[in-house]
Structure 1
């Protein structure tokens, strides 16, 4: 986001799309969820620690304050995981992350009418290991914004991110749309004046995209 991209004058709307829970539904350390994995016993420890005991550490990781290596070293010291081995699993899982080709393909149908921005609260893992193995993600968007690079989360300061991005690109928030699996993120976005689709499944995302396609091409749906 260092340089403001030139917005095609034909694109009078911005579509923000979340990543986890929208385009991909795989959890972190997916391999460890399998009972027969030799490191399976550490999965729940990690879940309880990052999503329970120390959520601030998780947020700091997503805001670029720690690398994946540093996070695993911290977890090794605090909950006794084998950092090197668990990090190797994460690296491999992020590279093999399952993404919805159906959703990415449909996003291409909006490329002439929407400025498409992938906005994810994510870690360094996203650019280091996921995107290099999934170039089709970058092909489906005009911009990719990750909290790790921005140093802030989507809902920080009342959603100032959305206001700033829309303003810099000369688009009113009333002409901005969000697809996100977080209800609170959608509520915040709509309080700013935008329109949100709170989705929970791949089909709901596809339906939301169809809705936008119909609106912009005056099709009957």
Structure 2
């Protein structure tokens, strides 16, 4: 994506999570640790879930299924050294280990300083919503502002003025952008024309544009290979 200017009149930026701010998975402490006793079992189960049971995953993101119900389908059998709710707890706790793209986080901070609201708009699960709300109540270890390759989950959580998560909205962004975004926009006396969506999926961008908003398709891979893509200039 080439460097470009923010459209004039933007009052809120809706930013996606997975594929834009981070690429880290759930259960990161297990899936990315080959020495963990549950690594192989959970790796196989997670791959099956996210590649072969996409309808179930979408129902999870819509809030029609809970994390408990999903974990019950995985058929992962932890040994007695692990508590019964171990995989459920790690779903939430491991979100704290996700690393956020630093340059994009910096850009969003600058946008916020310029008076633009920043709202996380994510097709995501109940466990993620719980984790991000917990993180917003915490204080980052350091508040020093500097440009780094990655930013911690807790630090990034402080950036958002609000959270829109599909498991709470009970709909995915692409399915009904009016239902997903309109209540929030109306509460702040905004319209879609006041809003910009940063999302990695073209289908989400097109749905947002069809409702009158501006959308930029942006991927984590592009951000990491060309950090300058987040050097968007403000039109004031």
Give the TM-score band, short-chain normalised: 0.7 to 0.9
Equivalence for 1:144:
163
Equivalence for 1:172:
191
Equivalence for 1:103:
104
Taking a change above 3 Å as real, the CA distance of residues 41 and 198 of structure 1, as seen in their structure-2 partners, is same
Between 1 and 2, higher relative CO (CA 8 Å, sep ≥ 6) is seen in 2
Q: Structure 1 regions of 5+ residues with no counterpart? A: 1-10
Taking structure 2 as the reference length, what is the TM-score of the superposition? 0.71
**Quick one: distance in 1 between partners of 2:168 and 2:27?**
22
1:110 partner SS: helix
Taking a change above 3 Å as real, the CA distance of residues 44 and 173 of structure 1, as seen in their structure-2 partners, is same
**Quick one: distance in 1 between partners of 2:11 and 2:97?**
32
Q: Which of 120, 123, 129 lines up with 2:122 in the alignment?
A: 120
CA RMSD of aligned residues (A): 2.8
1:15 partner SS: strand
Equivalence for 1:19:
17
Q: Are the aligned partners of 1:61 and 1:67 in contact in 2 as well (CA < 8 Å)?
A: yes
Q: Are the aligned partners of 1:104 and 1:136 in contact in 2 as well (CA < 8 Å)?
A: no
**Quick one: distance in 2 between partners of 1:13 and 1:145?**
16
Equivalence for 1:6:
none
2:118 partner SS: strand
**Quick one: distance in 2 between partners of 1:57 and 1:198?**
26
- Give the Å deviation of 1:145: 1.2
Q: Normalized per residue, which structure has more helix?
A: 1
Aligned length: 201
Taking a change above 3 Å as real, the CA distance of residues 162 and 143 of structure 1, as seen in their structure-2 partners, is same
1:171 partner SS: coil
Taking a change above 3 Å as real, the CA distance of residues 182 and 128 of structure 1, as seen in their structure-2 partners, is same
Taking a change above 3 Å as real, the CA distance of residues 92 and 171 of structure 1, as seen in their structure-2 partners, is closer
Taking structure 1 as the reference length, what is the TM-score of the superposition? 0.75
Deviation readout 1:90-144 (Å, 9 max, x if unpaired): 3442222212343333212112332221111111222333443444334212211
Taking a change above 3 Å as real, the CA distance of residues 17 and 63 of structure 1, as seen in their structure-2 partners, is same
Q: Structure 2 regions of 5+ residues with no counterpart? A: 1-8, 79-83, 136-152
